[in-house]
Structure 1
Amino acid sequence: MSLLKLEDVQVSYGGIRAVKGVSLHVDEGELVCLIGANGAGKTTTLKAITGLVHAAAGKVMYAGTDIARDKPYEIARRGLALVPEGRGVFPQLTIQENLAMGAYSRDDRAAVAADEERMFALFPRLKERAKQTAGTLSGGEQQMLAIGRALMSRPRLLLLDEPSMGLAPLMVEKIFEVIRGVATEGVTMLLVEQNARLALEASHRGYVLEGGLVTLEGEAKSLLGNPQVRQAYLGE
């Protein structure tokens, strides 16, 4: 069953249509990627799902309900969590405080404390720096923190926007190791990523977005072998 289903979603900024009619679905337990060049409409699609921008037309169906007109905080409470492009950590707050912000809508204190320890086990670097302010961390550490903060909400659906952007290769490897690990725990994920090879290798299925429209979709393995994808996105 589809946990998330977009039906002909369109988004405009002023007079410009950034997303021209995107339809896609993410089934329960799947890791699905959305790939494409800069300006293809990937981030805007995620913003439409999370209510940060409102779709001018189309439906955003989540667990059978159209959430296209819901407010971002209402959507977050339904179990969607976004790891935004550029990480978006709270720079003046400590690592622990940032993680606590991820669990702001929960009142199960013992479970929140257990989840914090789980995040520290997942990201040992964060544990070493638990009292350090997030603004003093490296880009890779901030990305770890942004993912940890999102997981603290115990999301039913996790949206990741360009998690590898601006990171050193070793850090990218670590981040994708975590993403694959979270997927094996059954968390449903929609991944927006410019590194098409990494995204497709980690995913079950994928969509290619060009000029605000889905131009290709299919099993990740078949997209990896697609000549069009290989030429446009894999540098071959």
Structure 2
Amino acid sequence: MTDTILKIQGLKVAYGGIKAVKGIDLEISRGELVTLIGANGAGKTTTLKAITGTLPSCKIEGTITYKGQPLKDVHSFQLVERKLAMVPEGRGVFTRMTIQENLMMGAYTRNDKAGIADDVDKWFTVFPRLKERAGQLAGTLSGGEQQMLAMARALMSHPELLLLDEPSMGLSPIMVEKIFEVIRKVSSEGITILLVEQNAKLALEAAHRGYVMDSGALIMSGNAADMLHDPRVKAAYLGE
């Protein structure tokens, strides 16, 4: 049994004549928090959607292996049963369901009622705002509250690998701080995380390792702490 939980080899994604991802290799070991940083349009979200099988019609080449098994022809809804969950860009909460109902939807693959109840209590403790509004429709929440809910809902499935797509996008500084506090907490509990994030500084501070993506290609990778001090990363992504 390898400790590699996710392995991407030679991934290429093309929409017609547009090459969004150009033959990337990426690997994540169990328990790691790995971040994928880069500018808008670099191909980061396309990479996550290729992993989860949620891309629109396009040409995909290469292999994606999760827990030693290829993900080719695996439907996206089956991934939750395999303990892979994603918090998409834009949150994707069920707007016409309550907070409580959203959390229960996150646990739909489970049947341990006591464990589910314990997890609801756990995430209500982590996110007190959600507890205060448990009966409120998710569509009436602020962007930050919806992000909290999307993360808690994904974690209700007890994922072994959690994909996070731009969790800080559009949030206030105080809310961004809270979201990253939770990301670090989840990582400390041993859940493997692949974090796609535009805020390179916060992402690299939280991560063990990092990859830099530019125009569909991976141009750099390494220890996250080292990358924080790399002059190229500083100049391009940290505004220094």
State the TM-score bracket (shorter-chain normalisation). Answer: over 0.9
CA deviations over 1:168-216 (Å, ceiling 9, x no partner): 0000000000000010000000000000000000000000001111000
Is the contact made by 1:48 and 1:55 (CA closer than 8 Å) also made in structure 2? Answer: no
CA deviations over 1:129-185 (Å, ceiling 9, x no partner): 000001111110000000000000000000000000000000000000000001000
Is the contact made by 2:20 and 2:216 (CA closer than 8 Å) also made in structure 1? Answer: yes
Question: 1:76 offset after TM fit, Å?
Answer: 2.1
Q: What residue is the counterpart of 1:214 in the other structure? A: 218
Q: What residue is the counterpart of 1:20 in the other structure? A: 22
* TM-score, scaled relative to structure 1: 0.98
Q: What residue is the counterpart of 2:133 in the other structure? A: 129
Equivalent residue letter for 1:185: E
Q: How many residue pairs align between the two structures?
A: 236
Question: 1:13 offset after TM fit, Å?
Answer: 1.7
Matched residue SS, 1:58: strand
**What CA RMSD, in Å, does the superposition of the two structures yield over aligned residues?**
1.0
Equivalent residue letter for 1:214: L
Is the contact made by 1:33 and 1:205 (CA closer than 8 Å) also made in structure 2? Answer: yes
Aligned counterparts of 2:230 and 2:4: Cα–Cα separation in 1: 25
Question: 1:1-236 to 2 correspondence within 5 Å?
Answer: 1-53=3-55, 56-236=60-240
Is the contact made by 1:90 and 1:134 (CA closer than 8 Å) also made in structure 2? Answer: yes
Is the contact made by 2:11 and 2:23 (CA closer than 8 Å) also made in structure 1? Answer: yes
Structure 1 runs of 4+ aligned residues shifted over 6 Å read none
Question: 1:109 offset after TM fit, Å?
Answer: 1.3
Aligned counterparts of 2:105 and 2:78: Cα–Cα separation in 1: 16
Is the contact made by 1:206 and 1:220 (CA closer than 8 Å) also made in structure 2? Answer: yes
Aligned counterparts of 1:55 and 1:225: Cα–Cα separation in 2: 37
Aligned counterparts of 2:80 and 2:46: Cα–Cα separation in 1: 17
Query: Structure 1: 5+ residue runs without aligned partners?
Result: none
Query: Structure 2: 5+ residue runs without aligned partners?
Result: none
Worse-matched range after superposition: 107-116 or 193-202: 107-116
Is the contact made by 1:51 and 1:75 (CA closer than 8 Å) also made in structure 2? Answer: no
Aligned counterparts of 1:103 and 1:118: Cα–Cα separation in 2: 14
Identity %: 62
Aligned counterparts of 1:194 and 1:69: Cα–Cα separation in 2: 30
* TM-score, scaled relative to structure 2: 0.96
